[in-house]
């Protein structure tokens, strides 16, 4: 909420007052400042913008940051180096073991386009530490080929991404890395919903199934296997159909008890929905569905046709999903 962020924002200001006195913090109530709201095109609340060198032309948006500690890291990476330079295995171990997650870039040399993309990505992922190295000893110690990004979770490597000059996109890297703040498959509930929408992956796949069914374990393992292949491109979510608090999601996707297990893809940008053509939740069917969607070949799933303009002009009324309830009941 705005109130929570406001408190975290104030806490960051207090902590940085001594450490970085050059950074000034301000708060604006745009309900009374219409000109400023218009000038900076404020659409959502709360919005945090960082102004550099006294210029109001191109402020930097600070998105998805909710805690004072993360906010401080975000600011420090904007005004100083965004990654720690690693020269020894001890240094690498210290970073990897300090937090639950850590990202290390293993490079041939430290001055090229790939390193620049890596450092730019670090600026927008303040939730975890970033380190980089070109040390032969460090690369050999972890048996990592040069020009690779490695995500460590609880001290162990969980993902390796080969970085290619000119081919790597900062946004794609950021999406991929941020997905590691979630489990491979995230069960939807009140606590996780905020985290799910904080990760900037706009394609969500949802598995609707009762978690206490006899076939659940097999279905879940299949879903998890497919999830590993599409990490960073599609976010895999599990919705327990036995949980009464999830009722609004079933309504939104028009899922009935007889439909489950059911699989849908939702594009958050367009609100378009897609239904998996196959009934069986196998790894093969899931992969085919996801790939077909990413290739732009899936047909939208429209739970109802639009209401015809002349639906009530004749003695026999035309009913579709969107007007059925209101007319009949």
Six token digits for residue 155: 């001290």
Instruction: For residue 52, give the DSSP letter.
Output: -
pLDDT at 60: 93
Q: Is the pLDDT of residue 303 over 80?
A: no
- Burial class from Cβ neighbours inside 10 Å (0-12, 13-18, 19+) for residue 311 reads middle
Among the ranges given (120-124, 244-248, 280-284), the one the predictor scored with the smallest mean pLDDT: 244-248
pLDDT of residue 321: 63
pTM of the model: 0.82
Rounded to an integer, what distance in angstroms lies between the CA atom of residue 170 and that of residue 185?
Answer: 24
1-79 and 84-179 have identical folds: yes
The domain locations on the chain are 1-79, 84-179, 182-295, 303-328
Helix segments in the chain, DSSP class H: 2-19, 34-39, 68-79, 89-98, 113-123, 136-141, 170-178, 190-198, 216-229, 247-253, 283-294, 321-328
Q: Which CATH class is domain 1-79?
A: alpha beta
Residue among 169, 70, 53 nearest 62 (CA): 70
CA distance 271 to 164: 33
Q: What was the pLDDT predicted at 160?
A: 94
What backbone phi and psi angles, to 5 degrees, belong to 239? -120, 115
Q: How confident is the model at residue 302 (pLDDT cuts 50, 70, 90)?
A: low
pLDDT of residue 10: 92
State pLDDT tens for residues 2-28: 788 889 999 999 999 988 888 999 999
CA distances from 19 to 76, 103, 267 (A): 10, 25, 42
> Confidence class of residue 322 from pLDDT cuts 50, 70 and 90?
low
The domain made up of 182-295 is a member of CATH 3.40.50.2300: no
Structural contact between residues 260 and 250, judged by C-beta atoms closer than 8 angstroms: no
Residue 31 pLDDT level (bands cut at 50, 70, 90): confident
Strand-strand pairing, 156-162 and 148-153:
antiparallel
Segment 130-171, tens digit of pLDDT: 999 999 999 999 999 889 999 999 999 999 999 987 777 899
Mean local confidence (pLDDT), 98-111: 95
Architecture of the structural domain at 84-179? 3-Layer(aba) Sandwich (3.40)
For residue 210, is pLDDT > 90? yes
Give the ranges where 230-276 is alpha helix by DSSP (H): 247-253
């Amino acid at each position: 909420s705005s109130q929570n962020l406001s408190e975290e924002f104030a806490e960051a200001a207090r902590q940085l007052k001594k450490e970085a006195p050059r950074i000034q913090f301000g708060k604006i109530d745009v309900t009374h400042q219409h000109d400023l709201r218009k000038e900076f095109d404020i659409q959502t609340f709360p919005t945090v913008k960082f102004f550099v060198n006294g210029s109001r032309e191109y402020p930097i948006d600070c998105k998805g940051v909710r805690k004072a500690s993360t906010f401080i890291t975000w600011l420090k990476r904007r005004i100083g180096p965004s990654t720690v330079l690693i020269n020894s295995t001890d240094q690498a171990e210290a970073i990897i073991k300090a937090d639950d997650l850590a990202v290390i870039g293993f490079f041939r040399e430290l001055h090229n386009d790939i390193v620049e993309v890596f450092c730019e990505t670090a600026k927008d992922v303040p939730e975890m530490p970033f380190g980089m190295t070109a040390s032969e000893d460090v690369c050999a110690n972890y048996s990592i080929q040069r020009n690779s990004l490695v995500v460590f979770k609880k001290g162990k490597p969980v993902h390796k991404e080969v970085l290619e000059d000119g081919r790597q996109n900062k946004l794609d890297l950021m999406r991929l890395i941020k997905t590691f703040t979630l489990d491979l498959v995230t069960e939807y509930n009140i606590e996780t919903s905020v985290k799910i929408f904080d990760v900037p992956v706009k394609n969500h796949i949802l598995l609707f199934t009762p978690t206490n069914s006899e076939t659940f374990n097999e279905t879940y393992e299949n879903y998890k296997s497919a999830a590993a292949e599409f990490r960073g491109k599609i976010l895999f979510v599990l919705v327990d159909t036995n949980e009464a608090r999830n009722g609004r999601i079933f309504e939104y996707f028009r899922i009935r008890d007889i439909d489950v297990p059911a699989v849908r893809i939702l594009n958050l940008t367009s609100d378009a929905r897609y239904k998996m053509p196959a009934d069986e939740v196998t790894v093969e069917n899931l992969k085919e569905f996801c790939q077909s969607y990413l290739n732009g070949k899936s047909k939208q799933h429209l739970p109802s046709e639009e209401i015809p303009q002349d639906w009530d002009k004749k003695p026999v009324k035309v009913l579709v999903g969107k007007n059925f309830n209101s007319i009949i009941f």
